[in-house]
Amino acid sequence: MYNTPANFDINTTLCLACSSSLPPLKGKSTAPGPHTDIYITHCCKRPICPSCLKSNPRLARYDPCLSCLGGVDVVGSGSRQRTLLAREFALRSQNASLTPQNIDGAVREEDTFILGDDEDEDEDMLSAVSRPPPPPYEPISDDIQANTLLPPSEVPADTVDEQGGDRPLPEGGNIAPKKYYIARNDTLQGIALRFALDGRELCRINKFPASALSTTPHLLHTRSFIMLPPSAKLPASFQIPNAEEKEREAKRARERAQKKVQTLTKEVDWRVAKAYVALADDPDTQEEFSFKKKEMGLKGEGSSGQGSSSNLESVAIQRYLDDAEWEERERREGRGVNLPRFPFLNNKEGSSSKLGGAGLFGRWK
């Protein structure tokens, strides 16, 4: 029932549901309106604003209200329900006109709304059934399907150009990636700007993280060279001749072999590892090592592996172990390291003994 008692002060009383100020009164009403008046609860005579009733109409159906029940958790208690039922039975026995109590505030049909109706749903289902199926996808060729399984750095450039459309091929038909040797002051962003390349594409080809362009530029200097895409325009000054490139590859192979020899043999002095790798780089030494492996029944690399990092480190490690074994055998047989004394010291000691300890120039008198 929407009414306003005489002792109701709209200026100081707050809404029971949202604790907000109440709107000004528009007049008294004896029947629930379209959520425009203030609702007064039957039990405690407390107001509920129209906004709360509009958003939750069940607030008007709670009798007693949730505040009198002590909260939502008390609604389901059995003792409270029995008390309310006894009260309702007593009032009905006294012929009191009391509407049925509703302490759960269940959702009713007027509280819900439906978008559309059943007829619209039936029409949608019929139209979906009668709608023709979409056309099938075009079959993918074997070449494109095989390239999708490869990592981005191994996809042929001609396939990318066909998918890209109007991208022109480099002059001379050279579609292979180009090699760029890194200088001391190079950065990945600077290389991309110098050769008019996309920095992220450069990271993708060389398997760098995207942070190498900004926050971690030092990752570039963990490599001695990077691969540039075929679209890179290298000036003549950056194009290295084949002879110089082969020389750099041989130098890098020797450096890798030195590091690996020093690691596997646990040699502290890096110069020892460098000396053994230099000896292993001799073609005669490699031929001798291959011949020895064939005699032992092992598969030798032969001259085909000459200059490679794996062949150099194998020969160097074998020479190092042979020398270590020879030194150990010499020590066991009693032939240790013996350094001869300087001849001048022997003559000096002999002359001193002849002079009776007078020294090299005799005694002063």
Provide the pLDDT for residue 206. 92
pLDDT band at 1 (very low <50, low <70, confident <90, very high): very low
Cα three-residue angle 203-205-210, rounded to 5 degrees? 15
Residue 216: CB atoms within 10 Å = 13
Integer Cα distance of 206 and 225 in angstroms: 10
Among 100-114, 159-173, 333-347, where is mean pLDDT lowest? 159-173
**Cβ-based burial of 251 (10 A; exposed 0-12, middle 13-18, buried ≥19):** exposed
Cis amide leading into 283 (omega within 30): no
pLDDT higher than 70, residue 107: no
Closest listed residue to residue 258, CA positions, set 250, 221, 298: 250
| Top mean-pLDDT range of 59-63, 106-110, 219-223, 301-305 | 219-223
pLDDT higher than 70, residue 196: yes
| Of residues 342 and 78, more confidently modeled | 342
Provide the pLDDT for residue 161. 44
pLDDT band at 346 (very low <50, low <70, confident <90, very high): low
pLDDT band at 160 (very low <50, low <70, confident <90, very high): very low
The percent of residues above 70 in pLDDT, for the chain, comes to: 53
Q: Cα–Cα distances in Å, from 252 out to 103, 122, 223, 249, 259?
A: 86, 75, 11, 5, 11
The percent of residues above 90 in pLDDT, for the chain, comes to: 3
Q: Cα–Cα distances in Å, from 345 out to 258, 342, 354, 358?
A: 41, 6, 15, 16
Structural domains in the chain? 1-107 (no CATH), 172-239 (3.10.350), 242-332 (no CATH)
Element (H, E) at 353: helix 343-354
| Of residues 194 and 151, more confidently modeled | 194
Name 179's bridge partners: 227
pLDDT higher than 50, residue 165: no
pLDDT band at 147 (very low <50, low <70, confident <90, very high): very low
* pTM (2 d.p.): 0.34
Closest listed residue to residue 60, CA positions, set 15, 13, 127: 15
Please give the average per-residue pLDDT across 32-52, as a whole number: 79
Q: How far apart are the first and last CA of the chain?
A: 145
pLDDT band at 209 (very low <50, low <70, confident <90, very high): very high
pLDDT band at 239 (very low <50, low <70, confident <90, very high): low
Provide the pLDDT for residue 114. 53
Please give the average per-residue pLDDT across 278-286, as a whole number: 81
Provide the pLDDT for residue 243. 72
- For the CA atoms of 148, 149, 154, 158, the dihedral, rounded to the nearest 10 degrees, stands at -30
| Of residues 176 and 250, more confidently modeled | 250
Provide the pLDDT for residue 279. 86
pLDDT higher than 60, residue 155: no
Provide the pLDDT for residue 313. 84
| Top mean-pLDDT range of 124-138, 207-221, 334-348 | 207-221
pLDDT tens, position by position, 304-326: 444 556 778 888 888 899 888 99
pLDDT averaged over the chain?
A: 70
DSSP states of 69-132: HTSSTTTT-HHHHHHHHHHHHHHHHTT---PPP-SS----GGG---SS-HHHHHHHHHHHHHSP
